[in-house]
Structure formats: structure tokens, C-alpha cells
Amino acid sequence: MEHKSIATNRKALHNYEVLDTYEAGIVLKGNEVKSIRGGHINLGDAYASIVKEEVFLYNMHISPYEHSRLEECDPLRIRKLLLHKKEIKKLMGKVKERGLTLVPLELYFSKGKVKVKLALARGRNFRDKREELKKKDAQRDVQRAFREKHK
């Protein structure tokens, strides 16, 4: 499957431990899609929530398209995500577990449609974040030593 990445939520990978990922469609207005094509989007504080067996995305900021009427644009409006009923029911059961949340990891185009890579994640505490950074540093050192050895 070929897809073109638009935006990623790097902070989410640092703050959360990803347990599972899902691909979801997103309901957008025409001027929002044009703004997304221009890269005017921020996933930094975005999260998803399930309300009455429907999934909604909150706090995803899409800057207003410069050539549209400004009064019809709300950059932080709540946007509906499109998933299969079976997936939503599965997510509902898991989100009710303590500490699990839905976080968008990436926004991308797939076959001309805007898709969201949604993660079922558990929040990391400060100690876990530190452990992860130590692992990455050690792995980077090993890779660097390996490259130096094989030059």
C-alpha cells in the first residue's frame, strides 16, 4: 500500500507506548483538504474518543485555507473518524481498560483520500521515557560502532 505522509505526531511516540494501530478515514470539508495538501496541520495535542459508538478526533489543528471564507473555518473543530463497527466495538472494550487511549500517529494520503493512523496506546511515566531514551542511545552507539568498523 502506497501512501504519502502529511504529518506525524512524534510527541505521541515519546509519551505513549503503542499497543496496536488502526487506519481510519476522516470526515473533512473541502477547504480543510486543500489546507492539508499545503501542509498546514498540527497533530501535537490531538486525541480520539469514542462517543455513542462513533470515534471523534479532538484538538487536531488545521489552519484555514487562505483562499476560503474565514467565517466558515474552525481550526480545532471536532472531526469524525471512519472505522468499521467491529473495530469500534473492539476499541471500546480496550479503551475502558485503565490507562489506554486513542492517539493519532500520522496523517497521510492513501489513494487520494486522507487517512489517520490511529494508535491504541498506554501513557508512559517519566521513568519509562528515560528507559526508552537510554535504549535508543545504546542502539545508536552500537550502530555507529558497527559502521566505523565496516568502513
Cα–Cα distance, 104 to 41 (Å, whole number): 13
Give the residue numbers spanning the domain of 36.
4-124
Q: What angle do CA 28, 32, 33 make, to 5 degrees?
A: 80
Report yes or no on 147 lying in a domain.
no
13 pLDDT more than 70: yes
Residue given cell 512524534 in the structure block = 10
Count of domains observed in the chain: 1
The DSSP symbol for 77 reads -
Neighbours of 132 (CB within 10 A): 14
- For residue 144, tell me if it sits in a domain: no
Q: What's the pLDDT tens digit per position in 82-109? A: 999 999 888 888 888 777 889 999 999 8
As a whole number, the mean pLDDT across the chain is 84
**What pLDDT, on the 0 to 100 scale, is given for residue 82?**
92
Name the percent of the chain lying above pLDDT 70. 95
CA distance 137 to 54: 40
Mean per-residue pLDDT for 55-82? 82
Which pLDDT belongs to residue 23? 92
CB 48 within 8 A of CB 118: yes
Distance of alpha carbon 83 from alpha carbon 112, whole angstroms: 18
Residue 137, domain member (yes or no): no
pTM for the whole structure = 0.76
Q: Which pLDDT tens digit goes with each residue over 100-146?
A: 889 999 999 888 888 999 998 888 777 777 887 888 888 888 888 88
pLDDT for the residue numbered 2: 67
**Do the domain assignments include residue 142?**
no
How large is the C-alpha radius of gyration of the chain?
18
Sign of CA dihedral 37, 45, 75, 77: positive
In DSSP terms, which residues pair with 56 in a beta bridge? 49, 80
Q: What is the pLDDT of residue 58?
A: 92
- In this structure, is residue 140 part of a structural domain? no
pLDDT (average), residues 66-88:
82
Q: Is residue 145 part of a domain?
A: no
pLDDT higher than threshold 60 for residue 31: yes
Rounded distance between C-alpha atoms, residue 133 and residue 80, angstroms: 34
pLDDT at 1 over 60: no
Whether 40 maps to a domain, the answer reads yes
Asked whether residue 37 is domain-assigned, the answer is yes
Mean per-residue pLDDT, 64-73: 72
CATH code for the domain in which residue 115 is found: 2.40.280.10
